[in-house]
A = this chain, B = another copy of it.
């Protein structure tokens, strides 16, 4: 039997690393796709490369798309990243780190790669904690994207093939994501979830992404193996660097 191919969006954070491990565990030949989109910190791509190198994936494609031209987000523009938001208030509005139409742009580029590879499965690590805040992290959005994709592509139109947008984390808490990833052997020490890392790629520990991640590890009864700023120099380097 031929191994089916999947395109997996890989940012280098804990969610996308877990998603890639789930796609591999499900038997797919994984083609990871990352973006050099004008993110303020190159550390994000370095993390994606570390994660890709740690998993048995087929290849890792890095695609340039300059979202700074669109602007409007703290992730690409010189806007402040919110820090130390009370946990109870994270996710109750669309945050400053929202990039306009980002998942749509990233999934569209993944669809283009999938069509060229003859892959019909796309994986994205959207999850439950995100979708109350980001419109493009909700199940009904992904269903609408899949319906559009079937009409957009040669494979959909000529061969009646459907594309499946897999969101294996969609209903999991951060704790459940971590437990699932640990069971699959994901090395979270090399992932970078932070919205505002130092120039060296060390997580800040105070942005909403860091706060949710740290809470997830606490709830799982585990220590987060990643490096955080201000936790002592012995933990400021990624293993192997």
Main SS of chain A's interface residues?
helix
Assess A104 versus B152: contact at CB under 8 Å? Given A112-B99, A144-B147. yes
Q: Are the C-beta atoms of A147 and B149 separated by less than 8 Å?
A: no
What's the nearest-Cβ distance from chain B to residue A160, in Å?
Answer: 12
Count of chain A residues near B, Cβ 8 A: 45
Interchain CB contact (< 8 A) of A65 among B65, B113, B154: B65
- How many identical subunits does the complex contain? 2
Q: Are the C-beta atoms of B154 and A71 separated by less than 8 Å?
A: no
- Which of A19-27, A40-48, A134-142, A200-208 is the interface stretch? A134-142
Q: Are the C-beta atoms of B156 and A135 separated by less than 8 Å?
A: yes
| Residue A241 CB within 8 A of the other chain | no
A153 to B135, CA, bound (A): 6
Give 7 A-B contacts (CB < 8 Å), ordered by A residue: A63-B69, A64-B64, A100-B111, A101-B112, A104-B108, A141-B152, A147-B147
If A64-B64, A104-B108, A135-B151 are given as contacts, then 8 extra A-B residue pairs at C-beta distance below 8 Å, sorted by A number, are A62-B69, A63-B69, A71-B116, A103-B152, A104-B148, A135-B154, A135-B158, A145-B152
Chain A residues in the interface with B (C-beta under 8 A)? 61-67, 69-72, 94, 98-105, 107-109, 111-113, 115-116, 135-136, 138, 140-141, 144-145, 147-149, 151-154, 156-158
